[in-house]
Structures are given as structure tokens and as C-alpha cells.
């Protein structure tokens, strides 16, 4: 009897252990399915996506990085349960962050990321190219464009710098026309100043904007039919007269011209656009 009871207890223990194995195998991990979209048709092969801690976004989760497919979809599998965010970036685009993602065991969580273009080009225009010294002003307008030469839109921080005179304001946000306006006041002395423009990137650092070269379409005129020239009649040659001896002319005294004084240009403050790699403008001053 004791032997039979011992066998029954052993069988029950083995059965209990076998039932516990599937429960442990189920684990506590889940999955994340996400989508990246851009304002322009950027090649997804250049986009990177990583997983970061939702409460400390500077902490990325090792082993979770992906490149979206051609339609922008990506997936992370076997993610430990917890709270995360997906972080994505690409060339000429501001980095983007997803909403909070809560991973639950054996479930798939969804997220989405939108990447917007960063400023790349900046064109400068002024109301006056030449202004006097001593407090004269000219308004400067900066129009910002993205890499694809589309206006960047409102809300982009632009900063400006000058080597002479003063600018007010020194920084500000672009308006609905993708423009930032500032006023340059000329100094009391000097002759030249250079204006440079910068944009603030998604990571908070400033970088110089490039000069945007306007494309010009040249129209080639259609040539008209060429007129056939009518040959002129050939004149009959006349007999050549025998020339008379020519008298030797007396030398004529040549007057020496008096030197002409060259006018001295008044120094000034002139605004001329610098055709350089970066968007910049040069300014010169003149006396009143």
C-alpha cells in the first residue's frame, strides 16, 4: 500500500512539473510594429530607427535598431516588457520620436514617427544696398529652404551675425513665408561688414545655411530664314591718273595735355551679396 501511494505521488509531481514548462516558456517579451513617414519621398534605406528608454531618452536599448522597408514599416521582436520610444533620423531631416510605447508580454504594440526636413539653404535680401555711416538702417530678410529647395515653413529658429554694425533682433523664428527679418544699423566708422545666417538643428546646435542659387531658364530664339544676297554689278575699270609730286609737310607742334585729377570716391557702407558656399552678405559704409 505504501508503495502504491509513493508511485501516485511521484506521478503527480512529474505532471505538475510538465505543466509548468509551457508557462515559463511563454515569457514576458512582446513586439513593436512601427511606421516612418517623411514630408518628401526620401529613400527609406537612409533612415535609421532605434529603441530608447521612455523615461530617459538618452539611453538607447542595445540590440534594437532597424531600417524601414520601402514603405516605411519596421519591427522589433522579443522586446522585454516595459515603456519605450522609437527614435528615427536620416540625412537632411530633423530626427523624430514616436509616442510612448508600452510593451506587454506576447502582444504587439504600434507606433509612428514623422520626419520633417531641416533648413539647408538661406537667401538674403535687403531694402538698401548702400547706407550711410552713423546709425543708418537697412532691413534684411532671410528666406529658408530645405535640401529639396522647398520653403521650410514657420517655426524654425534662425540666428544672424555681423562683423560690423548691429543687428536687431539677432535671432527669431521663421514666419508663414519661411522668412526671418532683422535690421542692420551702420556703425560710426568702418567700411565693410559681413552678415552670416545660421539655423538651429534638431539637437539644439546651430549650423550655417548654404547659399541657394536660383535656376535661370534661357530661351534660345528660333533663327529666321536667311536672305540670299543679290550680287552687285562689277564696275568698269577707269584709266589711272599719274600722281603729281607731293610737298613735304612742315612738322606741327603737339600740345602736351595737362593731367586730369581723378575724383576721390567717398567711403561708404554697401551691402553686396557674397557668392560663396554659405549664405552671406557683405556690407560697406559711406559718409553722409
Query: pLDDT value at position 215?
Result: 47
Domain spans of the chain, in order of start = 27-115, 119-212+267-286
Distances (CA, A) of 99 to 25, 39, 85, 102, 129: 30, 19, 6, 10, 49
- pLDDT band at residue 276 using 50, 70 and 90 as cut-offs: very low
Instruction: Tell me what the pLDDT averaged over the chain comes to.
Output: 79
Query: pLDDT value at position 166?
Result: 96
Residue 282 has pLDDT above 70, yes or no: no
Q: Are strands 29-38 and 108-115 parallel, antiparallel or unpaired?
A: parallel
Residue 201 has pLDDT above 90, yes or no: yes
Instruction: Write the CB contacts of 161 (distance below 8 Å, at least 6 apart in sequence).
Output: 167, 170, 195, 196, 198
pTM over 0.75: no
Average the pLDDT over 93-119 and give the result.
96
- Write down the residue that cell numbers 533663327 correspond to: 223
pLDDT tens digits, 210-250? 987 654 444 444 555 555 555 555 555 555 555 555 555 55
- Say which CATH superfamily domain 119-212+267-286 falls into: Immunoglobulins (2.60.40.10)
- Write down the residue that cell numbers 552678415 correspond to: 195
**Is residue 83 a contact partner of residue 55, using CB atoms and an 8 Å limit?**
yes
The one-character DSSP state at 44 is G
| Beta-ladder partners of 285 | 131, 269
Q: What is the SS3 assignment for 5?
A: helix
Torsion of CA 32, 37, 42, 46, to 10 degrees: -20
Query: pLDDT value at position 124?
Result: 94
Average the pLDDT over 106-120 and give the result.
96
Q: Report which of 126, 129, 145 is spatially closest to residue 183, judged by C-alpha positions.
A: 126
Average the pLDDT over 135-141 and give the result.
95
Residue 154 has pLDDT above 70, yes or no: yes
CB atoms within 10 A of CB 273: 16
Kind plus residue range of the DSSP H or E element containing 194: strand 193-200
Q: What is the SS3 assignment for 11?
A: helix
Q: Architecture of domain 27-115 in CATH?
A: Sandwich (2.60)
Torsion of CA 127, 129, 132, 135, to 10 degrees: 40
Residue 185 has pLDDT above 90, yes or no: yes
Query: pLDDT value at position 3?
Result: 52
Residue 195 has pLDDT above 90, yes or no: yes
Same fold across 27-115 and 119-212+267-286: yes
pLDDT tens digits, 50-88? 999 999 999 999 999 999 999 999 999 999 999 999 999
Residue 41 has pLDDT above 80, yes or no: no
Amino acid at each position: 500500500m505504501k508503495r502504491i501511494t509513493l508511485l501516485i505521488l511521484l506521478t503527480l509531481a512529474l505532471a505538475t512539473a510538465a505543466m509548468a514548462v509551457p508557462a515559463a516558456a511563454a515569457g514576458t517579451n512582446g513586439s513593436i510594429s512601427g511606421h516612418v513617414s517623411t514630408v518628401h519621398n526620401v529613400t527609406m534605406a537612409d533612415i535609421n530607427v532605434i529603441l530608447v528608454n521612455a523615461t530617459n531618452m538618452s539611453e538607447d536599448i542595445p540590440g534594437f535598431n532597424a531600417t524601414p522597408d520601402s514603405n516605411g514599416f519596421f519591427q522589433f521582436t522579443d522586446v522585454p516588457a516595459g515603456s519605450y520610444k522609437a527614435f528615427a533620423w536620416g540625412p537632411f531631416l530633423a530626427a523624430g520620436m514616436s509616442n510612448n510605447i508600452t510593451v506587454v508580454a506576447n502582444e504587439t504594440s504600434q507606433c509612428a514617427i514623422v520626419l520633417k526636413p531641416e533648413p539647408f539653404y538661406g537667401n538674403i535680401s535687403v531694402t538698401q544696398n548702400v547706407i550711410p555711416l552713423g546709425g543708418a538702417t537697412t532691413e534684411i530678410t532671410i528666406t529658408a529652404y530645405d535640401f529639396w529647395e522647398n520653403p521650410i515653413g514657420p517655426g524654425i529658429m534662425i540666428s544672424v551675425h555681423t562683423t560690423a554694425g548691429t543687428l536687431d533682433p539677432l535671432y527669431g523664428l521663421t514666419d508663414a513665408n519661411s522668412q526671418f527679418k532683422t535690421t542692420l544699423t551702420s556703425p560710426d566708422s568702418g567700411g565693410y561688414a559681413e552678415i552670416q545666417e545660421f539655423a538651429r538643428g534638431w539637437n539644439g546646435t546651430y549650423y550655417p545655411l548654404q547659399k541657394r542659387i536660383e535656376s535661370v531658364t534661357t530661351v534660345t530664339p528660333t533663327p529666321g530664314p536667311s536672305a540670299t544676297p543679290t550680287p552687285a554689278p562689277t564696275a568698269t575699270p577707269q584709266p589711272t591718273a599719274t600722281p603729281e609730286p607731293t610737298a613735304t609737310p612742315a612738322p606741327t607742334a603737339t600740345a602736351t595735355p595737362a593731367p586730369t585729377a581723378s575724383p576721390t570716391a567717398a567711403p561708404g557702407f554697401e551691402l553686396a551679396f557674397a557668392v560663396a558656399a554659405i549664405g552671406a552678405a557683405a556690407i560697406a559704409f559711406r559718409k553722409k
